[in-house]
Structure 1
Amino acid sequence: MKTKQQISPFMSFDRQEWAELRQSYPMEITPEEIEELKGLNDVLNMQEVADIYLPLTRLINLHANAAQELYRSRSRFLHTKEKKVPYIIGIAGSVAVGKSTIARVLHTLLSRWDNHPRVSLVTTDGFLYPNAELKRRGIMNKKGFPESYDAHRLLSFLSDLKSGKTRVKAPVYSHLTYDIVEDESQVVTSPDVVIIEGINVLQPPKVQPGDDSDQVSVSDYFDFSIYVDAAEENILRWYVERFKTLRETAFQNEASYFHKYADLSDEEAERTAQDIWERINRKNLHENILPTRHRADLILLKGNQHFVNEIKMRKI
């Protein structure tokens, strides 16, 4: 009796199959740069860059070139003046899964392609509501959940980018003070590629009953999207390890929002991190982040040592 063939919109590659797709693309990054790009408690080395991120960069370069050619063709068809419009990449995934490191690696590698040297990296942390507003709304304990972001401001930022504006500003977030930095902004000027990194960037619009207006989501502005995945037990372990490292470093700063955790013992720090994970991050992962995984164009699945061991690419 024939079993049903599994239907999937993705092609799967193991690490070796993916690494072979690099072909002759040269390594243009040094071990010293890799050390600077690594996030706290993250693992990254030359082999990981060569096997995973160089092929990925080559794939994105092909997509970006094709998208620009399509844009030029459409401008000719519509008889409109061609503007410089950036290719936008979204990177999603859980807290502590290593999104920021991947975003920085791609930012570095993509900027070394001749046809798109101006690459900007923007995190959605800057589009969180200020703490005062979160407290006013009673959702301070839901920071990082979709409702904690100023969605209109983020969508306006992306719309301006895709409209060809040459100078667009994004708000800045401080992980030290755990809040938006007033009167400070990141200026994105005439970019070729923009990387948008954030846990919930693949969220679909939430349609209200009876609302027949056009619903727009952040991912509508993406040309390519990546979801960074891992088993939950690994993500929890990485989260706890990072919390304990921060306790010994950033939390020691009296200006840190989390300075109250600086003197915790190892056991207390582990219990506190696990409690925060259960109350906030695990809930956000299962309710909001994980359900968006299969909306991505590419999924990077990490093993227990932070190295990618499987890649799923959406069929074209």
Structure 2
Amino acid sequence: MSPYISFDRAKWAELRNAVPMTLSESDIQELRGVNERLSMDEAVDIYLPLSRLLNLYIEARQSRNSVLHKFLDSNDSAPPFIIGIAGSVAVGKSTTARIIRTLLSRWENHPKVDLVTTDGFLFSKSELDKRGIMHRKGFPESYDTKRLVKFLTDVKAGKGNVEVPVYSHITYDITDEVKKIDKPDVIIIEGLNVLQSGLDYPNKPASTFISDFLDFSIYVDAESDVIEKWYVERFLEFRQGAFTKPGSYFSHYTLLSESEAVDKAKNIWQSINGQNLAENILPTKDRAQLILKKGQDHAVEKVMLRK
């Protein structure tokens, strides 16, 4: 007996229930990530039904908040509805987060939707070096879990202008910038560690989990060997793009031949990202309320919704 209801692509697409498409082809192009093949069909068949489901959950939470405020005779603003999106490096969770954010922001009852990535809560390079875990970046111990939990506590408490540190994929480090989250209707939080228990330093289990604050959770899934292939392809794309930018931490990879770059990408996957997936990310999949299972062409083939 599975705790999930399973839908093939066609059955899931039927659940759109006449929700109108509010995205143009140019929107799809803008939302697509590196080495992603997000299409209009994918948006219509997968993400419109998902936006409808999420909207129903948000409406139910808003109704519950109204009842509670009436009972308490309170005029305090309602806490945001928080959606967590987890999955491996290179599986496309950032693209999923962006398209869900855009679709949800076009529903009238919750127009203010913010997106936060947990990358901003990684320890800085200097701190990772100090702890001797630079090679473990992305693993649970590389995150400032206390700061992330404090952020979630503050936004759930209704605080305004809560600051989020900003991460640069060019310098591979935390920047001096901050992003301010000011009482949105919905927050989407995306990252490797969204469904993990997390660790407090030094390597002891955290007492509070990120998932404690989530109102809905999504896991973006694919077979591990398929994700590895996508990771290598993305690495080669970055080698021609992001790695060439001034100040790029990975600029030295542009000097590699293509075969050397492929070997390097496979080595990084096998020693870091693949290991992290197997040990820390994949075991959290069954904690998600909804799983999007992708095939080799990046398209979602199956949707699993927790009963």
Name the residue aligned to 2:184.
191
Q: CA 1:251 to 1:28, structure 2 compared with 1: closer, same or farther past 3 Å? A: same
Corresponding position: 1:291 with 2:280: no
Q: Would you say the 8 A contact 2:141–2:200 is kept in 1?
A: no
Name the residue aligned to 2:230.
238
Name the residue aligned to 1:311.
303
Q: Would you say the 8 A contact 1:28–1:109 is kept in 2?
A: yes
Out of 209, 221, 228, the residue aligned to residue 220 of structure 2 is: 228
Out of 18, 28, 31, the residue aligned to residue 25 of structure 2 is: 31
Q: CA 1:91 to 1:245, structure 2 compared with 1: closer, same or farther past 3 Å? A: same
Determine helix, strand or coil for the equivalent of 1:196: strand
Deviation at 1:23, TM superposition (A): 1.1
How big is each residue's C-alpha offset from its partner over 1:168-192, in whole Å with a ceiling of 9 and x where there is no partner? 110000000000002x101111200
Out of 38, 47, 52, the residue aligned to residue 41 of structure 2 is: 47
How do 1:83-98 residues align onto structure 2 when only pairs under 5 Å count?
83-98=77-92
What is the aligned-residue RMSD (CA, Å)? 1.7
Matching residue's letter, 1:188: I
Deviation at 1:70, TM superposition (A): 1.4
Q: Would you say the 8 A contact 1:95–1:239 is kept in 2?
A: yes
How do 1:67-216 residues align onto structure 2 when only pairs under 5 Å count?
67-182=61-176, 184-204=177-197, 215-216=207-208
How big is each residue's C-alpha offset from its partner over 1:253-292, in whole Å with a ceiling of 9 and x where there is no partner? 2410000101211110100000000110011001100000
Q: Would you say the 8 A contact 2:161–2:180 is kept in 1?
A: yes
Structure 2 regions of 5+ residues with no counterpart? none
Out of 261, 274, 279, the residue aligned to residue 266 of structure 2 is: 274
Q: TM-score, normalised by structure 1?
A: 0.93
1:252 and 1:84 map into 2 onto residues whose CA distance is 45
Determine helix, strand or coil for the equivalent of 2:291: strand
Name the residue aligned to 1:8.
2
Deviation at 1:78, TM superposition (A): 4.5
Determine helix, strand or coil for the equivalent of 2:115: strand
How big is each residue's C-alpha offset from its partner over 1:47-75, in whole Å with a ceiling of 9 and x where there is no partner? 00000000000000000010111122233
How big is each residue's C-alpha offset from its partner over 1:99-154, in whole Å with a ceiling of 9 and x where there is no partner? 00010001110000000000000100000000000000010001011110111110
Name the residue aligned to 1:256.
248
Name the residue aligned to 1:4.
none
1:137 and 1:276 map into 2 onto residues whose CA distance is 21
Structure 1 regions of 5+ residues with no counterpart? 1-6
2:43 and 2:288 map into 1 onto residues whose CA distance is 21
Determine helix, strand or coil for the equivalent of 1:133: helix
Q: CA 1:174 to 1:214, structure 2 compared with 1: closer, same or farther past 3 Å? A: closer
2:111 and 2:21 map into 1 onto residues whose CA distance is 16
Deviation at 1:81, TM superposition (A): 4.4
Q: Would you say the 8 A contact 1:201–1:219 is kept in 2?
A: yes
Q: Would you say the 8 A contact 1:247–1:263 is kept in 2?
A: no
2:126 and 2:76 map into 1 onto residues whose CA distance is 42
Out of 43, 54, 57, the residue aligned to residue 51 of structure 2 is: 57
Deviation at 1:207, TM superposition (A): 9.7
1:139 and 1:48 map into 2 onto residues whose CA distance is 39
Q: Would you say the 8 A contact 2:140–2:198 is kept in 1?
A: no
Matching residue's letter, 2:189: I
Identity within the alignment, %: 54
Out of 13, 16, 27, the residue aligned to residue 22 of structure 1 is: 16
Determine helix, strand or coil for the equivalent of 2:236: helix
